[in-house]
Amino acid sequence: MTMMKRTMTILMLVLCTLVASAQDKKKFSPAKFESDLAAYITREASLTQEEASKILPLLKEMHDKQRSLMEKQRQSAKQKPADDKQAAQAIEQADRLAIELKQIEQQYHKKMVKAVSAQKVYAAIKAESKFHRRMMKDFQHKQGKDPKDRPHAKPAKNGKRQ
């Protein structure tokens, strides 16, 4: 009987350890994401603290405005039009939202260029894009997916997917 109790105790400890380690996996934190993004942009675009203090709040404001439109896009994409008329309306709405998103981006890029040099804004835009690509690769890696296994990836000259 003691052998069985000992085995059960060990199994329970192993199970508790597994559950605890599964819960320790990092959950997405919007605040951490924002601070990591700001630090990455500042570093990659070689922004001074003064330049960063001018650009980053504008970037955050732009993202906040775009977020509600992106939510509308997601909701719209979930809809399944029943007929051609509804499908045409869905396409028009998607186009309007995409244009509105781009207009917001353009408006804020102009504000940023007024605040700091266009070269710094360009570098910040590129840095942000690079940050998002890296985050997606990291996420896919953590999920056990190889980004090279994308079905839409084009084969490279050597026959391997890019």
Check: CB of residue 129 under 8 Å from CB of residue 122: no
Check: CB of residue 64 under 8 Å from CB of residue 101: no
What is the model's pLDDT at position 158?
57
What is the model's pLDDT at position 101?
94
More confident residue, 34 or 21: 34
- Burial of residue 5 (CB within 10 Å: 0-12, 13-18, 19+) is exposed
Q: pLDDT tens, 99-132?
A: 999 999 999 999 999 999 999 999 999 999 999 8
CA distance 99 to 93: 10
Local structure of 45: helix, strand or coil: coil
Q: Is the pLDDT of residue 83 over 90?
A: yes
Q: Is the pLDDT of residue 150 over 60?
A: no
More confident residue, 41 or 5: 41
CA distance 1 to 100: 71
More confident residue, 151 or 96: 96
What is the model's pLDDT at position 24?
47
Element housing 75 (H / E): helix 49-78
Q: pLDDT tens, 50-74?
A: 999 999 999 999 999 999 899 988 8
Check: CB of residue 45 under 8 Å from CB of residue 112: no
Q: Which residue has the tokens 């990291």?
A: 138
Report percent pLDDT > 90 for the chain: 50
Q: What is the mean pLDDT of residues 19-40?
A: 74
Across all residues in the chain, what is the average pLDDT? 81
Ramachandran region of residue 159, left (φ > 0), alpha (ψ -120 to 50) or beta?
A: left
